[in-house]
Amino acid sequence: MFDDEQFMRDPDALAWSMEHDPGLRSTIVAVTWLDARPDVDILVARLERATRLAPRFRQRPVPTPVGLSTPQWVDCEFDLSLHLRRIAAPAPYTPATVVEFARMEAMTAFDPSRPLWVVTLVEGLEGDRAALVFKVHHSLTDGVGGMQLAMLVYETTPDTGPVEEVPLPESAPEPSGVGLVRGAVGHSLGRMAGGVRAGLADVVPAARALVRHPIRSTLDVLATTSSLGRFVAPVSGTLSPIMTRRSLDRHLDLVEVDLADLKRAGAVVGGTLNDAFIASITGGLRRYHELHGAPVDELRVTMPISLRQEGDAEGGNRITLERFVVPVGETDAGARVRLTGWRCRAARHEEALPLSDTVAGLLNLLPAGVIGSMLKHVDFLASDVPGVPVPIFLAGAPVTGYYAFGPTTGAAVNVTLVSYRGTCCIGCTIDTAAVPDPEKLMACLRDGFDEVLALGGDHHPVTSMLAADPA
């Protein structure tokens, strides 16, 4: 009897299969800034506990023979010491040294013979501070799931009392080649049977609807078909005339924006936090293109849309990636927020969204080059992840900031917002072939946020922990 849960879901398998093209590598790096050194023994105990509560973090992916099914998660000889490292911060012991280390992590592939994550504690920063750099593959979790998993390690109190004992999860020996084939065949047959049952369950209601409302039913089918076409349509070129090249080199940077200010700026013109966030990015990109004498009206964005529901297990990918065009050339910040909101809401209500797992399964059957054509001509990626509104601690050390640096996945830039204690912690991952002058882009992005924040009146300044603006 095979265990269906031991096989990657199609979206997770898609994220893992893209590793065949290093330009589409799906590595997430998150940096937690700490106001003191954490208690290492407590940190070790809490990480051990977390991996027992989420045993997927004690497993590694194994491909099924001749692609019979999605890869299988198998138990391996788990050794926490191989996934938790401690290093001393190099001179000059500033946040920039941590971000440089995170940059190297983002560009380095995982060892597939071990679980796809690693944590590095960077100690000895100025002021006796520290930072935790968490590297994880996207097939293990999405942004929301990552925050859920983080709360298995972080606490809402500085108390470093005994860590709750959790029994070791049951483990099974790695299946033999015959076992892998048997499991993969069983998994595939089970999915086919499930699909047939689901299809049959839909036939009668669909037939009744067609008889009672033939025009509306036909229009619904056409709308869904059109939506599916937009999901999988290849893109032949970037809309940006300058951010066209792609490489494996990355630049990481960050920005801090007051959460209440950004929410207020969006609300003033009838928009949401996400609308104001995307419009701030496009305002920065407009400035960057104008700086290079290449004004642009629109750019194409990939935006992860969460499909996570209450009761879903922590970890795993419960997202779908939507590609659509957003306004950039509109200089009126309020108008740009409103236009952006309309485009984002249209994307969130695509008829094909409920079929995203099926779409991922179909994409898994395509050559990597086809997937690359869909993603490498996207101009930028933006993600807004709800974070933690209250102070948290890591093994007794106060957390002062939490930044996620998402993969570019073929785009020129990834901008990821995670909120923490009233602050938008915004991490930027930049492909340096597409943007050879990242410092100038970051200055433009800060101006873009200032432009949108001004809609709400007086606001806190847009800041960065790293170097000052270039001359």
CA–CA separation, 105 and 117 (whole Å): 11
The position carrying tokens 């997430």 is 28
Whether residue 469 is contained in a domain is answered as: no
Whether residue 193 is contained in a domain is answered as: yes
130 contacts 38 by C-beta, under 8 angstroms? yes
124 & 194 share domain: no
The kind and range of the H/E element at 29 are: strand 27-34
Whether residue 254 is contained in a domain is answered as: yes
> Beta-carbon neighbour count of residue 469 at 10 Å?
11
Say whether 289 is catalytic: no
pLDDT of residue 232: 56
193 & 64 share domain: no
> Beta-carbon neighbour count of residue 362 at 10 Å?
15
How many structural domains is the chain composed of?
Answer: 3
pLDDT of residue 362: 56
Whether residue 167 is contained in a domain is answered as: no
pLDDT of residue 328: 98
16 & 140 share domain: yes
25 & 138 share domain: yes
pLDDT of residue 175: 64
290 & 366 share domain: yes
CA–CA separation, 155 and 399 (whole Å): 10
Domain boundary (150, 174, 209) is at 150
274 & 358 share domain: yes
Residue 84's closest CA among 122, 141, 29? 122
User: How far from 362 is each of 13, 14, 62, 231, 293, CA to CA, in Å?
Assistant: 11, 10, 20, 11, 41
Domain boundary (150, 174, 205) is at 150
45 & 120 share domain: yes
Residue 53's closest CA among 130, 150, 121, 118? 150
| Per-residue b or e along 269-296, where b marks 16 or more CB atoms closer than 10 Å to that residue's CB | bebbbbbbbbbbbbbbbbbbbeeeeeeb
287 & 333 share domain: yes
Domain membership of residue 22 as a residue range: 4-150
pLDDT of residue 331: 97
pLDDT of residue 300: 95
pLDDT of residue 141: 75
Whether residue 202 is contained in a domain is answered as: yes
User: How far from 2 is each of 70, 189, 195, CA to CA, in Å?
Assistant: 13, 11, 18
Catalytic residue among 138, 187, 377, 459: 138
200 & 107 share domain: no
Whether residue 166 is contained in a domain is answered as: no
pLDDT of residue 196: 38
pLDDT in tens, the chain (471 residues): 344 577 777 778 777 888 888 888 889 999 999 999 999 999 999 999 999 988 889 999 888 765 556 788 888 889 999 999 999 999 999 999 999 999 999 999 999 899 999 999 999 999 999 999 999 998 887 655 666 677 789 999 998 878 888 888 887 666 655 555 555 555 454 554 444 344 434 434 444 444 454 554 443 444 444 444 555 566 778 999 999 999 999 999 999 999 999 999 999 999 999 999 999 999 999 999 999 999 999 999 988 766 555 655 555 555 567 888 999 999 999 999 999 999 988 877 755 555 555 555 555 555 656 666 677 889 999 999 888 899 999 999 999 999 999 999 899 999 999 999 999 999 999 999 999 999 999 999 999 999 999 999 999 999 988 854 333
347 & 428 share domain: yes
Q: Is 127 exposed, middle or buried (0-12, 13-18, 19+ CB in 10 A)?
A: exposed
CATH of the domain at 45: 3.30.559.10
Residues paired with 260 in a beta bridge = none
Domain boundary (150, 175, 202) is at 150
Residues paired with 1 in a beta bridge = none
SS3 427: strand
Residue 410's closest CA among 13, 15, 115? 15
138 & 217 share domain: no
Whether residue 155 is contained in a domain is answered as: no
228 & 254 share domain: no
This prediction's pTM? 0.84
Whether residue 277 is contained in a domain is answered as: yes
CA–CA separation, 327 and 383 (whole Å): 17
CATH of the domain at 375: 3.30.559.30
CA–CA separation, 233 and 374 (whole Å): 7
